[in-house]
Amino acid sequence: MVALSASLVGTIERKACGCEVDTAASAYSVWTYLMSLMLVSVLARVRDSFPNRALTFRLCGAPRVAHIGPMQIDRSYLEQTLAALVRINSVNPKFSDGSTDEHAIATHLGGVMRALGMEVTLHESAPRRTSVVGRLRGRGDGRSLMLYGHIDTVGIEEMRAPLSARIRNGRMHGRGTYDMKGGVAACIAAVKAIVNSGERLAGDIVVVGAADEEVASTGMAEVLKHVRTDAAIVTESTELQLCLAHKGFCWMEVEVEGRAAHGSRFEEGIDANMAMGRFLGRLDTLERDLRTRAPHALVGPPSLHAAVILGGSGTSTYAAHCRLEIERRTIPGETEESALAEIQSILDALAGSDATFRARVRPLLSRGSFEAHPDSSIVQIVQAAATSVLASPPNIIGEPYWMDAALLADAGIETVVIGPSGAGAHATKEWVDLDSVHSVAEILARSALNFCG
């Protein structure tokens, strides 16, 4: 049966039997509407004659009609692919004293991609810090789409059976299931569905398995030196919600200089720790001020915390140095420069009122925030695909944590984020909901069909 709703001036939507008809809002005459109805019926019959083909029609003077054939996600292939990824230890070396890396999982994933007919390249940001890129060639006359996931995980200490990939009650357990090998497996299963459909798309589909997202994103930075697409879907876990923004971060170091002296020589010593204390008082005021500023609609207000502090050399010595690392979480519109300027103005004020106060601030590592334009083509297409697969429109959200989506957007690639449901990212119990991974794979396949043509 076909469910059809229409208004003579407005939008016509149709969703039935796994197919979609999207129409732009514009005025239609009753005659045009009836003709469209007849054409839809004809197209449905054509579709039934070619059940494994994805067909796109553009009618002269009529709205674009995208007709998508059934996309079969191979559930057992999806689960086996995910389980194999989980069983490969790909803990970021930062969390394993350098004893693990992404090389094994990248080469394994490369083999999986080759078996699907993809062209595979490996990219190393450092020895064995390997990212993998697979390209499913299209006909060469359409838009290219990147499906993104990172392949490194955080550590596995204190986890029971972190690499077991055990399935219980529809959940797969283990490190990386939720953050984010589930998303990677969904990307692969989506490509397999497209390959199995027999359709050769106009544009390329590029799957990226990036290294080092959990620390400094050197993997994706390296990949972006070699790979560009017209749009990207990041499959970090979002509980099947559509994420259009995330925060950035700026790591800064403040170093206060004192003067070392014997503990009895107060007239000679300048206490760097005490001076840092005065700075921390002002920093505390700034932190509270940040959270009273107008919040971003999707990611809320900015924040900061005094993460690491180290000062002094012995109990009987005036501290000559005190060093503080600050993490500042930025929202769209803020930059590293603006975050540094706030700290510098505190240092200037303290130096202005105390001639012995000497300090400097310098950036350590910054990553920008991310914000997608809701009207962009990829956002519209993924939103429509998710609405169809989930039978209701996905929530629009922002995430507080950083993702590689910002690097993609900075590279001029329209990007949106949608991923599976689960829990336990960076925690001792991690799992992903397999139904949601299946849904993500279907959303990706449908989005690729519509975007790549």
Site for Zn ion, rule CB under 5 A? 179-180, 236
Instruction: Using the minimum distance from each CB to Zn ion, give the nearer residue, 179 or 199.
Output: 179
Of 134 and 176, CB closest to Zn ion: 176
Task: Please give the C-alpha separations between residue 308 and each of 252, 326, 350, 357, 375, in angstroms, as whole numbers.
Answer: 11, 7, 21, 21, 41
For Zn ion, which is the closer residue by CB, 184 or 320? 184
In the complex, what is the shortest distance from the CB of residue 179 to Zn ion, in angstroms, rounded to a whole number? 4
- CB 375 to Zn ion: min, Å: 27
Q: Tell me the closest approach of the beta carbon of residue 425 to Zn ion, in angstroms.
A: 7
Q: How far is the CB of 180 from Zn ion (least distance, A)?
A: 4
Tell me whether residue 40 or residue 234 sits nearer to Zn ion (CB atom). Answer: 234
Q: How far is the CB of 29 from Zn ion (least distance, A)?
A: 50
Token pair recorded at residue 101: 């890396």
**Which CB, 342 or 430, lies closer to Zn ion?**
430
Q: How far apart are CA 72 and CA 18, in angstroms?
A: 11
User: Which residue lies nearer to Zn ion by CB, 113 or 154?
Assistant: 154
Residue nearer to Zn ion on the CB measure, 79 or 179: 179
- Separation CA 386–CA 439 (nearest Å): 8
85: Cβ–Cβ under 8 A, 6 or more apart, which residues?
105, 108, 109, 151, 176, 181, 184, 185
- Least distance (Å) from Zn ion to the CB of residue 349? 39
Q: Please, which residue, 179 or 433, has the CB nearer to Zn ion?
A: 179
Cβ atoms of 150 and 211 closer than 8 Å: yes
Distance between start and end Cα atoms, the chain? 26
Tell which residue, 332, 336, 304, has the closest CA to residue 409.
Answer: 332
* 401 closest CA partner among 202, 233, 213: 213
User: Considering the complex, what minimum distance in angstroms separates the CB of residue 32 from Zn ion?
Assistant: 47
Name residue 3's amino acid.
A
Burial 70-103 (b: 16+ CB within 10 A, else e): ebebeeebbbebbbbbbebbbbbbebbeeebbbb
- Quick one: CA dihedral 447, 372, 214, 218, positive or negative? positive
Minimum CB distance to Zn ion, residue 205 (Å): 21
The label of the residue with tokens 């230890």 reads 89
Given a contact cutoff of 8 angstroms between Cβ atoms, the answer to whether 431 and 172 are in contact is yes
